[in-house]
């Protein structure tokens, strides 16, 4: 025991679309072009195999079991925690808290940080480009505590107005919560600078990394952020697992999020004391198999190299922007110079939903709508966008198919 039982992926030096069985499918008699990766990525065979292997050979509840399988499952679960620690370069494995996803991770930070530190009149800085997951939990907190939200505006290119940001700080500012990469605009924010400015005011920063971790190398110590949240399912891992990284000093002081089994040290009706990190924040039975799948997904990305994935996707993004800009009437939403592989656009005066349906019928899957970022839509005065988002298995052929399908859609709509 103690050895990893799950098979790690072999090193490979290129993007292997064949590793993803779902992509070999046809939809409407056309080979599937999957360009909805910002919503969720597909899973490589090694991750699918890991889940099956887990349920066939290891499945058991963790941490409290004396028996053989429980110890195996516990070892694998804790190995996954160390893998995530190393992946984002956290200082300690107990700073990695497993959650159900980025949404739960952000709710955890807002609720626990809020219960511990936020008082009436305190201020919380977020931005105009946040996903609803990084707006609503802070609004809950503001309602509960009588705190106030302050919002960093964005430019028409889709970049944070850093000057306005610096001016938002007051004595009352208690935390900054912004996205690393925007799911709608693709903008990669200068999060190191955001942290530096906030720390200059003695204010901690939470980064929403849901759209960053699969596309950019992340080093939480280099960024010096206080919290970093992300979802497994957007980085080739199963749905139902995510991560909240927090610096030890905050996690030690913060009140727990949910109450239940595992997070306690002792319980009486008079008084309950809490477990040590990380368990204080992990009430109840976690998604053990999915956490193990997350480890395999990380190892899969590492077997290619996260920098290599980033460079490949950036090249593809440029190809895509170039190729689509040749279509007359296309309007890009989000044109920051430093962008991840997300292309949001409008086609003439047509509704993005109609564009999405016509692309779908040609086998091209994109997302349409407000992408859970209604304030961005208000900024541009639009109902939504069509969004093509790339992953490591995307190709120039996918972009070409998208462009051809768009031309056809245009001929039907405009």
CB of 295: closest distance to ligand PMP in angstroms? 18
Stretch that binds ligand PMP, among 77-85, 128-136, 244-252, 312-320 (CB under 6 A): 128-136
Looking up tokens 């400015």, which residue turns up? Answer: 197
Tokens linked to 298: 């990380």
CB of 373: closest distance to ligand PMP in angstroms? 8
Write the CB contacts of 276 (distance below 8 Å, at least 6 apart in sequence).
94, 265
Q: In 3D, which of 164, 178, 165, 171 has the Cα closest to residue 122? A: 171
The verdict on 158 binding ligand PMP (CB under 6 A) reads no
Out of 210, 341, 386, 392, name the contact with ligand PMP by CB under 6 A.
210
Q: Is 83 a catalytic residue?
A: no
CB of 129: closest distance to ligand PMP in angstroms? 9
Q: In 3D, which of 239, 180, 210, 233 has the Cα closest to residue 105? A: 210
Q: 219-238 mask for ligand PMP (x: CB under 6 A)?
A: ------------x-x-----
The verdict on 101 binding ligand PMP (CB under 6 A) reads yes
Residue 367 main-chain phi, psi, to 5 deg:
-105, 145
CB of 208: closest distance to ligand PMP in angstroms? 5
Out of 41, 85, 183, 187, name the contact with ligand PMP by CB under 6 A.
183
Looking up tokens 């462009």, which residue turns up? Answer: 403
The verdict on 290 binding ligand PMP (CB under 6 A) reads no
Taking CB under 6 A as the criterion, which residues in 349-378 touch ligand PMP? 372
Does the CA dihedral 215-205-261-279 come out positive or negative? positive
CB of 301: closest distance to ligand PMP in angstroms? 17
Taking CB under 6 A as the criterion, which residues in 133-152 touch ligand PMP? 133-134
Query: Could you give the 3-state DSSP secondary structure of residue 206?
Result: strand
Distance CA 56, CA 51 (A): 9
Distance CA 259, CA 244 (A): 17
**Which residue, 103 or 112, is less far from ligand PMP as judged by CB?**
103
End-to-end CA distance of the chain: 64
DSSP E strand stretches across 129-233:
148-152, 173-179, 205-208, 227-231
CB of 180: closest distance to ligand PMP in angstroms? 8
The verdict on 211 binding ligand PMP (CB under 6 A) reads yes
The verdict on 179 binding ligand PMP (CB under 6 A) reads yes
Distance CA 52, CA 66 (A): 24
Number of residues that bind ligand PMP (CB under 6 A): 14
Does residue 323 contact residue 32 with C-beta atoms inside 8 Å?
no
**Which residue, 42 or 134, is less far from ligand PMP as judged by CB?**
134
Residue ranges in contact with ligand PMP by CB under 6 A: 101-103, 131, 133-134, 179, 183, 208, 210-211, 231, 233, 372
Catalytic positions: 372
């Amino acid at each position: 025991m103690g050895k990893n039982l799950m098979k790690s992926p072999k090193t490979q030096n290129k993007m292997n679309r064949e590793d993803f069985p779902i992509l070999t499918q046809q939809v409407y008699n056309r080979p599937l072009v999957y360009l909805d990766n910002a919503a969720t990525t597909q899973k490589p065979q090694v991750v699918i195999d890991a889940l099956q292997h887990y349920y066939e050979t290891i499945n058991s509840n963790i941490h409290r079991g004396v028996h053989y399988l429980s110890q195996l499952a516990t070892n694998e679960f804790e190995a996954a925690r160390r893998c995530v620690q190393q992946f984002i370069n956290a200082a300690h494995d107990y700073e990695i808290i497993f959650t159900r996803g980025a949404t739960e991770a952000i709710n955890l930070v807002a609720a626990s940080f809020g219960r511990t530190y936020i008082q009436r009149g305190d201020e919380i800085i977020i931005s105009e480009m946040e996903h609803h997951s990084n707006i609503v939990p802070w609004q809950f907190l503001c309602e509960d505590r009588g705190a106030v939200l302050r919002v960093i505006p964005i430019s028409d290119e889709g970049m944070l107005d850093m000057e306005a940001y610096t001016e938002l700080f007051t004595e009352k500012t208690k935390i900054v919560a912004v996205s690393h990469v925007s799911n709608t605009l693709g903008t990669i924010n200068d999060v190191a600078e955001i942290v530096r400015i906030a720390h200059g005011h003695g204010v901690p920063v939470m980064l929403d990394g849901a759209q960053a971790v699969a596309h950019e190398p992340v080093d939480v110590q280099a960024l010096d952020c206080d919290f970093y949240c992300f979802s497994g399912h957007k980085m080739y891992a199963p749905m139902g697992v995510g991560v909240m990284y927090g610096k030890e000093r905050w996690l030690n002081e913060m009140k727990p999020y949910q109450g239940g089994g595992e997070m306690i040290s002792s319980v009486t009706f008079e008084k309950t004391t809490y477990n040590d990190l990380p368990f204080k924040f992990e009430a109840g039975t976690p998604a053990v198999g999915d956490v193990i799948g997350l480890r395999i997904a990380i190892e899969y990305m590492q077997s290619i190299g996260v920098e290599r994935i980033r460079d490949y996707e950036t090249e593809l993004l440029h190809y895509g922007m170039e190729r689509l800009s040749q279509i007359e009437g296309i309007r890009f939403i989000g044109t920051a110079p430093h962008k991840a592989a997300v292309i949001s656009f409008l086609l003439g005066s047509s509704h993005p939903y109609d564009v999405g349906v016509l692309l779908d019928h040609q086998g091209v899957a994109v997302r349409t709508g407000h992408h859970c970022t209604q304030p961005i839509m208000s900024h541009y005065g639009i109902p939504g966008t069509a969004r093509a988002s790339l992953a490591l298995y995307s190709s120039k052929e996918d972009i070409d198919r998208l462009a051809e399908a768009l031309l056809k859609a245009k001929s039907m709509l405009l």
